[in-house]
Amino acid sequence: MTRPRDMRNVPLSGARLWADLMAVAKIGGTAKGGCNRQTLTDEDGRVRHWLADQARALGCTVTVDRLGNMAIRREGRDAARKPVAFGSHLDTQPTGGKFDGILGVLAGLELLRALHEAGAETEAPLLLVNWTNEEGARFSPPMMGSGGAMGLFAEAEILAKQDSAGAVFGAELARIGWQGEGDPRGLQDIAAYLELHIEQGPLLEREGASIGVVTHALAQRWYDVTVTGEEAHGGSLMAGRRDALVAASLLIAEIERVALASGGNGRATVGRLTVAPDSRNIVPARVWFSVDTRHDDAAGIATIETGLRAAAASLAAARGIAIEVTEFWDSPLTPFDAALVRHVEDAAKARGLAYRRMPTGIGHDAVYVARKAPAAMIFVPCHGGVSHNEAESITPEWAEAGLLVLADAVLAAANA
Amino acid sequence: MTRPRDMRNVPLSGARLWADLMAVAKIGGTAKGGCNRQTLTDEDGRVRHWLADQARALGCTVTVDRLGNMAIRREGRDAARKPVAFGSHLDTQPTGGKFDGILGVLAGLELLRALHEAGAETEAPLLLVNWTNEEGARFSPPMMGSGGAMGLFAEAEILAKQDSAGAVFGAELARIGWQGEGDPRGLQDIAAYLELHIEQGPLLEREGASIGVVTHALAQRWYDVTVTGEEAHGGSLMAGRRDALVAASLLIAEIERVALASGGNGRATVGRLTVAPDSRNIVPARVWFSVDTRHDDAAGIATIETGLRAAAASLAAARGIAIEVTEFWDSPLTPFDAALVRHVEDAAKARGLAYRRMPTGIGHDAVYVARKAPAAMIFVPCHGGVSHNEAESITPEWAEAGLLVLADAVLAAANA
């Protein structure tokens, strides 16, 4: 077998990758051209069989762990070396698209196929991973398979999770026939992990770049905010009112200001809000809302929190109301592995592809993997930044660009 | 029979009124001391029978119109004169109190009782009215019986209204046995209408006044506001976002400012708000909220509207979003009858009761009646301004003060 240090000799096919994307999109395909292939449904079972069949035809072995994570192994020249892993997820949102997650798995499959056709051999073994339940739409939280494998969630807790209809994760995994025997934590024992994914934002398309070299994951802190004022009739005088919604509105405006002033691409989103008692002519007594904050550095995320808490305290005092801010979820800033990021950047350069270095503001399996092993990500554009949507779309050229950079970076890591 | 020009000779009893209030509170009484006696329920039927029995024992005649409005007539000396009417409503909110509406009906009953005991005769006939469905909690809109009688709502439309369980107004009215044959519009043919009611606000209690001389009803305009921005992931950059909730929040803060700056006790309330798609990590694409504005004069209500629309247009332009403001409901400023207001004020003075002139910011049957006949209202305090609540409470002294002023004003009108 040849040892392909220069992958430009290996017959990677963007057309074959595109055909795979279209084939897989039919499993759980929707009338509007999207996908409904939620985790641990029959459709998830079917797409897993499709992937395993393809992989076995290429001489790979397929193992499954107790959380359903699929690991497709292609042996390398040096059996003593830890495998170089890559992949993403095949599950989708209920009204998801054809590319989010799927691109990363199928580009990995195309790499295995091209190596097989070329009779090429890498130094390190390769491991294509399909993580279970990245989306978190049916069973919360998201990134459950990778989080469990990296030891961030207890296996027993994951298996006991229930969906909104009361179905149990472990039982559903067994029902579709994809509960294996492997210890999920075995996936920590890798030399590297590379994940190709659509950007899910508009930046690359806007700048005309086809590759995002992802350097790190933003720090994230999510909050619950509860504002408690006093109910009053809509006919009562304004003086003396303690209107929870006006206070919440002023706080929401202030949160935007604080995030913009925090520097380094600070981000804050209030995505959910409820009002009680929710009557046209009753001054709201209680408002609850969520806050999602993200930042390029750890000091920035703390700056936003300080600003949020200060604005809440000041409004509460000025308006005689109570504002409670509690942390809901926290994810530290996660740098990707410098050597792997360099491999990605080198590949983009060598292939002559326009690229930019950028963080990911969104959680991915690679972000969890990065806590235990060297990891990095590659982004390709998606039209209008639209994802988690049946209208999600990319061009075959973007898919091919991602495939080439993923393949080059994987081979660079596996042959280093 | 005597002709009681000076009602201080008529044996009005605050204690008897209080006993009636407590007796009626048991019909639909709740564990927390409130009332659930929604319109056209069995409990509504029972309280109507109780009232009719009491009235007939006093020699009055009871007639019912096709909308279920009860008119209890006590003849006067001059049968050619139009009757002087008074009353309110016996229906309650689902978790309502013992006084809202009920006080006005039972004080009227006590007046009839005192006149009966004294063998007194008025010049004009008297008419105690129990209006159907003032609350609007089960069948919307509120003040249906008085609105129908005054020709503001079509009778057939009222009879066809459905509650949330699909029950039809006309069928429910017949089921409880209170659909009469009289034309509701007959109630327009009155010399005057006086309504005693709890304030449903904190002003009188705060000022230590036991009587509110109600001079007019505020102008009201209610709106629907729809803000349409663009969905984006919570991880996307702040630059370029078109966040519908931040825009709505800025507009809500501005609506408060505009109302406060409008002079003359302008009031604005945003009581309901919904966010879509309602996800923690999705920038809201659509927000809907209600606006309830009220003002002491017609120019003021227009000033608030101008401010609301200008703020909406300015925010929409600045943030590249769409804001649609549509009128949902409109009620013009309604002055009460000057002579009747003077009777109320004279009575408070003559009885040595602390009082203040004030508008009503809340809709009442009297406000609809005022469109077709001379009308006025008398307020008494309620603790903390709390109403539409099982905790609604007043003192026996306040109830008696209201009884005395109502009686004096009714007799002044009936004997004028």
Q: List, for residues B287-325, the tens digit of each pLDDT value.
A: 999 999 999 888 999 999 999 999 999 999 999 999 999
**C-beta of residue A337 within 8 angstroms of C-beta of residue A374:** yes
Average pLDDT on A107-129 reads 96
Task: Inform me whether the pLDDT recorded for A7 exceeds 70.
Answer: no
Largest CA distance in chain A: 85
Provide CB contacts within 8 A for B301, sequence distance 6+. B219, B220, B221, B266, B293, B294, B295, B333
Q: Give the helix/strand (H/E) hosting A248.
A: helix A244-261
Task: Inform me whether the pLDDT recorded for A194 exceeds 70.
Answer: yes
Task: Inform me whether the pLDDT recorded for B412 exceeds 90.
Answer: yes
Residues B251, B321: Cα–Cα separation, whole Å = 12
Provide CB contacts within 8 A for A19, sequence distance 6+. none
**C-beta of residue B63 within 8 angstroms of C-beta of residue B82:** no
Nearest-Cα distance to chain B for A252, in Å, is 6
Query: Under an 8 A CB cutoff, do B259 and A238 touch?
Result: yes
| Contact status of A246 with chain B (Cβ, < 8 Å) | yes
| For chain A, percent of residues with pLDDT exceeding 90 | 87
| For chain A, percent of residues with pLDDT exceeding 70 | 98
Query: Is CATH 3.40.50.720 what the domain over B219-331 is classified as, yes or no?
Result: no
Average pLDDT on A71-94 reads 96
| Contact status of B1 with chain A (Cβ, < 8 Å) | no
Tokens of B130: 């129990």
Task: Inform me whether the pLDDT recorded for A416 exceeds 90.
Answer: no
Please return the burial class of A116, using the count of CB atoms within 10 Å of its CB with bins 0-12, 13-18 and 19+: middle
Query: Under an 8 A CB cutoff, do A236 and B202 touch?
Result: yes
Q: Where does the pLDDT of residue A140 fall: very low under 50, low under 70, confident under 90, or very high at 90 and above?
A: confident
**C-beta of residue B293 within 8 angstroms of C-beta of residue B221:** yes
For Cα atoms A49, A53, A54, give the angle at the middle one, nearest 5 degrees.
120
Q: Which of A235, A269, A387 sits opposite B362 (nearest CB)?
A: A235
* R_g of chain A computed on alpha carbons: 23
* Domain assignments of chain B as residue spans, ordered by start: 7-217+333-415, 219-331
Task: Provide the b/e sequence for A151-179 (b: ≥16 CB within 10 Å).
Answer: eebebeebbebebeeeebbbebbeebebb
Q: Where does the pLDDT of residue A298 fall: very low under 50, low under 70, confident under 90, or very high at 90 and above?
A: confident
Provide CB contacts within 8 A for B261, sequence distance 6+. B307
Nearest-Cα distance to chain B for A86, in Å, is 23
Residues A384, B233: Cα–Cα separation, whole Å = 12
Least confident of A340-349, B251-260, B326-335: B326-335
Ramachandran assignment for B73, one of left (phi > 0), alpha (psi -120 to 50 degrees), beta (any other): beta
pLDDT of residue A243: 98
Q: Which of A248, A283, A328 sits opposite B271 (nearest CB)?
A: A283
Nearest-Cα distance to chain B for A285, in Å, is 9
Tokens of B397: 């002294």
Q: Where does the pLDDT of residue A1 fall: very low under 50, low under 70, confident under 90, or very high at 90 and above?
A: low
Provide CB contacts within 8 A for B69, sequence distance 6+. B129, B130, B131, B132, B145, B146, B148, B149, B184, B187
Query: Is CATH 3.40.630.10 what the domain over A7-217+334-415 is classified as, yes or no?
Result: yes
Q: What is the DSSP letter of B357?
A: E
**C-beta of residue A267 within 8 angstroms of C-beta of residue A293:** yes
**C-beta of residue A56 within 8 angstroms of C-beta of residue A109:** no
Q: B7-217+333-415: which CATH number, 1.10.10.10, 3.40.630.10, 1.10.260.40, 3.90.550.10? A: 3.40.630.10
Chain B interface mutation, best of A200, A223, A249, highest count of B Cβ atoms under 10 Å: A249
pLDDT of residue A240: 87
Average pLDDT on B95-109 reads 97
Q: Which of B167, B164, B153, B191 is nearest to B66 (CA)?
A: B153
Q: Where does the pLDDT of residue B231 fall: very low under 50, low under 70, confident under 90, or very high at 90 and above?
A: confident
| Contact status of A240 with chain B (Cβ, < 8 Å) | yes
Nearest-Cα distance to chain B for A383, in Å, is 13
Query: Under an 8 A CB cutoff, do B294 and A235 touch?
Result: yes
SS3 B329: strand
Residues B66, B136: Cα–Cα separation, whole Å = 18
pLDDT of residue A371: 96
Query: Under an 8 A CB cutoff, do B271 and A281 touch?
Result: yes
* A–B CB contacts, 8 A cutoff, strictly below: 167
Task: Inform me whether the pLDDT recorded for B7 exceeds 70.
Answer: no
Direct distance between the N- and C-terminal alpha carbons of chain A, in angstroms, rounded to an integer? 18
ipTM (interface pTM): 0.79
Tokens of A174: 């067994």
What is the residue whose two structure tokens read 């499709």? A50
Query: Under an 8 A CB cutoff, do B236 and A201 touch?
Result: yes
Average pLDDT on A300-309 reads 97
Closest residue, chain B, to A387 (C-alpha): B233
Please return the burial class of A356, using the count of CB atoms within 10 Å of its CB with bins 0-12, 13-18 and 19+: middle
Parallel, antiparallel, or unpaired for β B84-88 and B334-335? unpaired
**C-beta of residue B296 within 8 angstroms of C-beta of residue B242:** no
**C-beta of residue A161 within 8 angstroms of C-beta of residue A40:** no
Ramachandran assignment for B28, one of left (phi > 0), alpha (psi -120 to 50 degrees), beta (any other): left
SS3 A5: coil
Chain B neighbors of A224, CB-CB under 8 A: none
**C-beta of residue B402 within 8 angstroms of C-beta of residue B12:** no
**C-beta of residue A330 within 8 angstroms of C-beta of residue A391:** no
pLDDT of residue A237: 85
The chain-wide mean pLDDT, for chain B, equals 95
Average pLDDT on B373-387 reads 95
Average pLDDT on B330-354 reads 96
**C-beta of residue B40 within 8 angstroms of C-beta of residue B165:** no
Q: Where are the beta strands (DSSP E) in B318-354?
A: 322-331, 334-335
pTM confidence score? 0.79
Q: Which of A269, A284, A360 sits opposite B234 (nearest CB)?
A: A269
Q: Which residue has the higher pLDDT, B237 or B153?
A: B153
Q: Which of A235, A266, A275 sits opposite B361 (nearest CB)?
A: A235
pLDDT of residue A2: 60
Q: Which of A362, A257, A242 is nearest to A303 (CA)?
A: A257
Residues A256, A268: Cα–Cα separation, whole Å = 6
Q: Which of A234, A253, A361 sits opposite B235 (nearest CB)?
A: A361
Chain B neighbors of A268, CB-CB under 8 A: 238
| Contact status of B200 with chain A (Cβ, < 8 Å) | yes
